[in-house]
Amino acid sequence: MIRALRLDAPAKINLTLSVVGRRPDGHHLLDSEFALLDLSDRLRLMPGSIGLRMDGEAASGLPLADENLAWRGLVAGLGGDVDRACLALEKRIPSSAGLGGGSSDAAAAWRLGRAWRGLEDAAGEDDLIALARIGADVPFFASGLSAARVTGIGERIEAIDSIQRHVVLAHPPFGLSTAAIFGELRSEEWGRLENDLLAPARRLRPELDGLLEVIAEAGGEPRLTGSGPTIFSLAADAERAGALAGRLRDAGIRATVTRTRVAAASIERITEED
């Protein structure tokens, strides 16, 4: 007998991110290459009293219940019937960091809800459109792809090759508002950088310049993921990744070493015997 379902919710990086236009409603149109990371949150769905339980190093300050993206994803996956549904979320991905943690949690909870109902673990076009209302990155995380080109406002997804690479994440001690970043973005900056949001991020947070310099001086190629503030650099192997992370830590910057994934996470069914 299955007593719970478990699923990891991976973080992502944006290998590229270009702003290509703006809709009449004000939403920016993007063209971005996403890649999943081994760094993940973990979700468990089980019968019990209704609610969301959170713990983990990155859980502090996150909203509960209806305001939480994971809970909203679960409600959608269960078709609105959350009677006796208990969702436990172990939070490891820093929030408001450009790593997509909340959106990944929403997609994972949606998948768990569908599996609980005995539905296929797959997202159709209508599902992706509905999930985009929860968050622009949610459709990618629900797509089942480990790497993809994502366009529009996040609803158009095309598979690209997955290549496993070591990744060093540098975590600044501050957050950045996505709305503020896009508000600071200038149209003449569209399509100029690997991530068009880096220029406005640097204007809002000049402290990023020092972090970029540390990575570059250590032989890395610093890039912004999402709207930041996390900066990442790809590394050829574990040794180089560890050396770069060490340089960052020596400079007082928190760093995480992880890898890109070559496959999306799969749902685990936990039985009475497990």
Look up 137 and say whether it is catalytic.
yes
Q: Name the catalytic one among 12, 91, 105, 196.
A: 12
* CA–CA dist 27, 37 (Å, integer): 27
Phi then psi for residue 115, to 5 deg, are: -65, -40
Please give the DSSP secondary-structure letter assigned to residue 134.
T
* CA–CA dist 205, 209 (Å, integer): 8
Look up 126 and say whether it is catalytic.
no
Please give the DSSP secondary-structure letter assigned to residue 9.
E
76 CB-side CA count, 13 A = 28
Burial (0-12, 13-18, 19+ Cβ within 10 Å), 40: buried
Q: Name the catalytic one among 8, 41, 105, 137.
A: 137
**SS3 (DSSP) at 58:** coil
Q: Which residues contact 183 (CB under 8 A, 6 or more apart)?
A: none
Number of H helices, E strands in the chain: 8, 11
Q: Where are the beta strands (DSSP E) in the chain?
A: 2-22, 28-47, 51-55, 85-90, 147-152, 156-159, 166-171, 223-224, 231-235, 254-259, 268-271
Catalytic residue numbers read 12, 137
